[in-house]
Amino acid sequence: MSRVKLDLIVKNIEYVNIMCYNLLWRNKMGIIELDNGYYIELIEDGKCKDDRIQNIQTIKLRESRNKGCLLLYIDFREFDKDRYKKILRKLLHIKKMVKFLKINIGVNQDSKIKIGYINNYDENNQYHQEFIQAINAILFNTKKERYNYIYDTVCNYLDGYFYGKNLCDFKNNQCGEKRGTTSRIGCCHHFRVKWLGPFTELVPCEHLKDDYTCGAKCISCKLFTCDYLEKKGVKFRIKDILLLDTFFNSLQKYFIKYMVFTPKDKIIKRLMITGA
Ligand code: SF4
Ligand code: SF4
């Protein structure tokens, strides 16, 4: 969604449903539901009697083989967010190996698959949520599914961050950065070279629809913050977004940052070609 449309929504309705970054669903049974039929059981004070578990920090393939499955134990008090990326990258590698060695991931329970236990989880802690989302990403079967999930989750987060706040300070459809100019479409325009003559002209982005929504779902545009926003302290860095920082290499991060004005399918295609 373009930020122009975000402003129109804010102005035109009284109550808004703010999109929430927390896409994880914790139910009354004390579990966190993930995609693809997986779930994690929540425990307190380390009360876990299951002897098949392995601490997520010290998983050994031989032990998984002996136990017949890979069942995780995650205690958020045992490691801080500086270690998340390393632990998750190792888990992605192990997941590929257990699949290759035909070791089960998790255990079947009530027609779902329990992939482990979590201790000391705080559902209001954004870092905990991001860590679980990253585990969810790892459990997708293909790289394409994983990339799609990461892409949509981060886009939802970025939309949700702006929703209802009018951070761009739109007034009469003119944003703070463009105040005093004739621009009525925020930053949804770019220069195009004229066919005749050496000059360029400023034209609206071809993905901006008549109702001022964006038809492209472009993650690079959503990450973009102009000087006006940065002066207000709004800036997104890829290295601060765990899903992007963990699962993409430097070249992919470059494309995520700079492929503005580009539809999602083209960006995903580029990520697929440049990812391991
Ligand atoms: S130019 Fe800046 S203030 Fe204007 S819509 Fe874009 S990000 Fe918002
Ligand atoms: S793709 Fe075009 S319409 Fe969509 S946010 Fe980017 S500039 Fe705006």
Q: Over 50: is that where the pLDDT of 110 sits?
A: yes
pLDDT at residue 257 in the model: 97
Percent of the chain with pLDDT over 90: 69
Q: How far is the CA of 177 from the centre of ligand 1 (A)?
A: 6
Distances in Å between the alpha carbon of 240 and those of 21, 73, 81, 124, 233?
A: 15, 25, 11, 18, 14
The pLDDT confidence band at residue 10, using thresholds 50, 70 and 90, is: very low
66 alpha-carbon distance from chain centroid:
35
pLDDT at residue 19 in the model: 35
Alpha carbons 194 and 199: distance in angstroms, whole number: 6
Distances in Å between the alpha carbon of 149 and those of 32, 37, 65?
A: 17, 15, 29
Ligand that lies nearest to the alpha carbon of residue 260, given by its number in the listed order: 2
The answer to whether the CB of 264 falls within 8 A of the CB of 151 is: yes
- The tens digit of pLDDT for each residue in 41-70 reads 999 876 788 899 999 999 999 999 999 999
What is the arithmetic mean of pLDDT over 154-162?
94
The answer to whether the CB of 116 falls within 8 A of the CB of 74 is: yes
215 CA: nearest ligand 2 atom: 4
pTM above 0.85, yes or no: yes
206 CA: nearest ligand 2 atom: 2
Pocket of ligand 1 (CB under 6 A): 3, 168, 175-178, 186-187, 225-226, 228-229
Ligand that lies nearest to the alpha carbon of residue 216, given by its number in the listed order: 2
253-257 LR contacts (CB < 8 Å, sep 24+): 255/220, 256/219, 256/220, 256/223, 257/220, 257/223
Alpha carbons 173 and 245: distance in angstroms, whole number: 34
- Provide the phi-psi class of 24: left if phi over 0, else alpha when psi is between -120 and 50, else beta: beta
Ligand that lies nearest to the alpha carbon of residue 222, given by its number in the listed order: 2
**DSSP secondary structure, 164-179, as one string:** TT-TT--BTTB-STTT
- The tens digit of pLDDT for each residue in 224-236 reads 999 999 999 999 9
pLDDT at residue 11 in the model: 35
Task: Give me the half-sphere count of Cα atoms (radius 13 Å) on the Cβ side of residue 193.
Answer: 3
pLDDT at residue 5 in the model: 60
What is the DSSP pairing of strand 112-119 with strand 38-43? parallel
Amino acid at 81: K
Q: Over 70: is that where the pLDDT of 94 sits?
A: yes
- The tens digit of pLDDT for each residue in 234-259 reads 999 999 999 999 999 999 999 999 99
